[in-house]
């Protein structure tokens, strides 16, 4: 009889993102599992390095064996806990069908099976803010600790990328964690069915070679931007199981049968029609982008070092004077203030030109720079001039795309130039570390973003002249 796979904190982390991936990791054919993408490898390497740096500073002991020798490692961890070590690095905890390898176990006052002390857990993350998926992981470790030492720690901790420590009350996680663990067990044991659902993380998932062809073959509704699991379920139960069937639906009839509101259903039907016809479906010309002249902004940050901005580009697009681009670098966080001051001077030279960007990154970073270095009216005026092109595109037309990224929207509207790469984070990290090749790659990516953005602005301006049903 095959053994039942043990569950780990990773399964809870994955559950928070995609239940189907939990099933595949536990029961899928490893032969079709792809290697991690460059971005995933970079994230893992950064996480390991950050964790090791914190562990080295603390100098906590660790068991001689790792989880590959789970029983011995658990006994060694238990011996360290009974001895009352101030902390333990990468201890191994076992209970029931669970195995956990928390980054840090930290001694606390208060009696337990171990003696006059007990332990809590701290997990090391490179993110700047605590997230729900990370909270499930430390809740998992707290549950294991309760089984091992007889006491549930009152608080568990996340040590974040900037070195700060986020405390989470264990009782606040109990109900959510217990339901998540029950669901993961049911997935493993075959009592909870899962199926793929397209989301932003899918192109980076190691199971993408299995799920994406399956979704495309069945014309799955999740391939439509704006689709949710609950909407897909309601539509499927009412007879609209594919993109094609939804494209042919009458909005009133589909709303009545599915129970969904017409105002939320109509954009999905339009997206389905665009996808089924592989054509742009104009909706409303909307406000035309002003200019030229205009300023185009791209921004790239290093999520470490409190998210410092590495590269800011401000490009002037002017019919009379041509295009000129200011490339402003801050390879080190100490250079960030100078970067912002240069950016404000670039904005001030064109005080009446509209400022365009795509997505939230650029405006978020400029707002963060303003909050850090407080220029006053100049910074606030620059922020007020900024216009995000992404919602203008979505209001103007339904495009035959799976996601309204800059690259997909530009290509769907006829852009033939070089597209910005999907994985830009590894380039940003390496460029921030002084890698000249990565710096050149990041510059090329920023140039592609500006050209794609300029194309979208031009497309929006000409949309009122575009006949309905233009082929993508």
Asked whether the bond before 293 is cis by omega within 30 degrees of 0, the reply is yes
CATH superfamily label, 294-465: Ribonuclease H-like superfamily/Ribonuclease H (3.30.420.10)
**pLDDT (tens digit, 0 to 9) for every residue of the chain, 472 residues total?**
357 899 999 999 999 999 999 999 999 999 999 998 877 887 788 888 888 889 999 999 999 999 999 999 999 999 999 999 999 999 999 999 999 999 999 999 999 999 999 999 999 998 878 899 999 999 999 999 999 999 999 999 999 887 889 999 999 998 999 999 999 999 999 999 999 999 988 988 999 999 999 999 999 999 999 999 999 999 999 999 999 999 999 999 999 999 999 999 999 999 999 999 999 999 876 677 876 788 899 888 876 555 667 777 888 776 555 667 888 888 777 888 888 888 888 888 888 888 999 998 888 888 888 888 876 788 888 888 899 999 999 999 999 999 999 999 999 999 999 887 777 777 777 777 777 888 888 888 888 999 999 999 999 988 755 444 343 3
Per-residue model confidence (pLDDT) at position 466: 46
Same topology, domains 9-189 and 294-465? Answer is no
Q: By C-alpha distance, which of 261, 336, 354 is closest to 300?
A: 336
| Residue 165 bridge partners (DSSP) | 159
Distance CA 153, CA 9 (A): 17
For the chain, the domains span 9-189, 218-277, 294-465
Q: Which residues contact 447 (CB under 8 A, 6 or more apart)?
A: 325, 418
Q: Which residues contact 470 (CB under 8 A, 6 or more apart)?
A: 279, 280, 282
Q: Which residues contact 197 (CB under 8 A, 6 or more apart)?
A: 18, 20, 220, 222, 229, 232
From 3.30.70, 1.10.10, 3.90.320, 3.10.450, which CATH number describes the 9-189 domain?
3.90.320
For 218-277, CATH number? 1.10.150.20
**pTM of the entire structure?**
0.85
CA distances from 312 to 17, 206, 222, 382, 467 (A): 31, 32, 34, 14, 37
The angle subtended at Cα 363 by Cα 362 and Cα 366, nearest 5°, is 85
């Amino acid at each position: 009889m095959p053994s039942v796979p043990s569950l780990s904190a990773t399964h809870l982390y994955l559950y928070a993102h995609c239940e189907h991936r939990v099933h595949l990791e536990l029961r899928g054919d490893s032969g079709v599992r792809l290697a991690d993408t460059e971005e995933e490898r970079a994230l893992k390497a950064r996480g390991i390095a950050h964790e090791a740096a914190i562990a080295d500073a603390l100098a906590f002991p660790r068991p001689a064996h790792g989880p590959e020798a789970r029983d011995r490692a658990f006994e060694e961890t238990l011996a360290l806990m009974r001895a009352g070590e101030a902390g333990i690095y990468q201890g191994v905890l076992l209970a029931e069908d669970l195995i956990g390898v928390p980054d840090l176990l930290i001694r606390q006052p208060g009696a337990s099976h171990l003696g006059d002390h007990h332990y809590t857990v701290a997990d090391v993350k490179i993110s700047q803010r605590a997230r729900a998926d990370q909270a499930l992981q430390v809740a998992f470790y707290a549950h294991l600790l309760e089984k091992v030492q007889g006491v549930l720690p009152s608080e568990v901790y996340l040590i974040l990328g900037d070195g700060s420590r986020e405390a989470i009350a264990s009782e606040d996680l109990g109900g959510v964690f217990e339901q998540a663990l029950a669901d993961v067990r049911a997935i493993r044991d075959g009592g909870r069915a899962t199926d793929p659902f397209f989301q932003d993380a899918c192109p980076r998932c190691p199971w993408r070679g299995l799920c994406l062809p399956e979704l495309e073959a069945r014309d799955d509704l999740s391939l439509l931007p704006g689709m949710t699991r609950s909407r897909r379920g309601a539509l499927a139960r009412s007879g609209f199981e594919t993109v094609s069937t939804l494209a042919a639906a009458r909005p009133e009839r589909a709303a009545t049968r599915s129970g969904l509101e017409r105002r939320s259903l109509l954009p999905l039907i339009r997206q389905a029609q665009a996808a089924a016809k592989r054509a742009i479906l104009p909706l409303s010309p909307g406000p035309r982008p002003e200019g030229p002249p205009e300023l185009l902004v791209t921004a790239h940050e290093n999520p470490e070092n409190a998210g410092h901005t590495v590269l800011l580009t401000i490009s002037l697009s002017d019919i009379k004077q041509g295009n000129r681009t200011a490339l402003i670098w801050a390879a080190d966080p100490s250079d960030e203030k100078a970067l912002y001051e240069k950016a404000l001077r670039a904005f001030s030279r064109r005080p009446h030109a509209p400022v365009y960007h795509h997505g939230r990154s650029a405006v978020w970073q400029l707002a963060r720079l303003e909050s850090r270095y407080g220029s006053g009216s100049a910074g606030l005026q620059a922020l007020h001039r900024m216009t995000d092109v992404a919602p203008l595109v979505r209001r103007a037309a339904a495009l035959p795309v799976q996601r309204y990224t800059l690259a997909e929207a530009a290509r769907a509207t006829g852009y033939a130039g070089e597209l910005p790469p999907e994985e830009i984070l590894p380039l940003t990290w390496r460029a921030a570390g002084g890698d000249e090749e990565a710096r050149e790659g990041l510059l090329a990516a920023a140039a592609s973003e500006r050209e794609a953005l300029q194309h979208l602005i031009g497309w929006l301006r000409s949309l009122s002249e575009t006949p309905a049903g233009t082929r993508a």
